[in-house]
């Protein structure tokens, strides 16, 4: 089922939206929160649950949730390989929390048979900050975004244990642990900007999606 978010009243974007066409992987997790943010920023947003719904997208968000469940459902629904192909083809993808785990090339503390989509040259540790009642908030300096520090919320989040030569750290905690990273059209954060009203990471992602859309329109 391909569900246009405007028909569900999940965002203020109107039918005349000229923003990039962005999908939100809607297998599990807080995909509706991302959808509202993206729609509010002017993107043409749709939910993605089946392989054919990846067609004609300028970008994709993989939300927070349970990475093990997302992995199993993406394989069960035949989405895993098309997602890997889209990533390899340069589709801009932003993964938050579980989404970062899904984008990592290497996982630590993964359960048996857990797989990732890969693409980010990083090693990520699942649930690096403990259980949900150990969630916390902090401010992060993110030079790539400029301006004020980013207020970040960590809920059972992963951490980037190491960054390979192809990837670039964007933000770290005070102890040096990396919690935001990018590599070309890929972007990942350990935290949840979709729930704090902090939209600069989404705007940064939409710039990537907008460039993809412009390139596709160029003869």
> Which SS3 state, helix, strand or coil, does residue 100 take?
helix
> Which residues on neighbouring strands pair with residue 162, listed in sequence order?
123
Let me know how long the chain is: 219
Among residues 33, 53, 194, 198, which one is catalytic? 194
Distance in angstroms (rounded) separating the CA atoms of residues 179 and 171: 6
> Which SS3 state, helix, strand or coil, does residue 152 take?
strand
Any catalytic annotation for residue 161?
no
Any catalytic annotation for residue 97?
yes
Among residues 53, 97, 182, 202, which one is catalytic? 97
Any catalytic annotation for residue 192?
yes
* Of 47, 97, 91, 94, the residue nearest 67 (C-alpha): 97
Alpha-carbon distance values, 126 to 7, 44, 68, 154, 198 (Å): 35, 31, 10, 12, 23
How many CA atoms lie less than 13 Å away from 15 in the CB half-sphere? 1
> Which SS3 state, helix, strand or coil, does residue 201 take?
helix
For strands 150-154 and 136-140, give the pairing.
antiparallel
For residue 21, what is the DSSP state?
E
Residues tagged active-site: 97, 192, 194
């Amino acid at each position: 089922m391909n569900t246009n978010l405007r028909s569900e009243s999940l965002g203020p974007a109107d039918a005349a939206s000229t923003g990039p066409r962005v999908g939100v992987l809607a297998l599990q997790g807080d995909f509706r929160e991302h959808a509202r943010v993206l729609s509010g920023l002017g993107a043409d947003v749709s939910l993605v649950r089946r392989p054919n719904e990846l067609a004609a997208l300028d970008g994709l968000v993989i939300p927070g949730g349970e990475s093990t469940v997302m992995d199993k459902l993406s394989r069960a629904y035949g989405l895993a390989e098309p997602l890997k192909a889209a990533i390899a083809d340069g589709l801009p993808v932003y993964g938050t929390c579980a989404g970062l785990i899904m984008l990592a090339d290497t996982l630590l503390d993964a359960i048996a048979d857990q797989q990732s989509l890969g693409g980010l040259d990083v090693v990520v540790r699942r649930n690096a900050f403990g259980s949900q009642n150990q969630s916390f908030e902090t401010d992060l300096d993110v030079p790539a975004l400029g301006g004020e520090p980013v207020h970040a919320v960590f809920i059972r989040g992963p951490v980037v244990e190491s960054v390979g030569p192809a990837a670039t750290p964007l933000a770290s905690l005070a102890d040096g642990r990396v919690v935001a990273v990018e590599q070309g059209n890929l972007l990942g954060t350990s935290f949840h900007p979709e729930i704090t009203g902090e939209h600069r990471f989404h705007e940064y992602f939409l710039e990537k999606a907008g460039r993809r859309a412009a390139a596709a329109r160029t003869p």
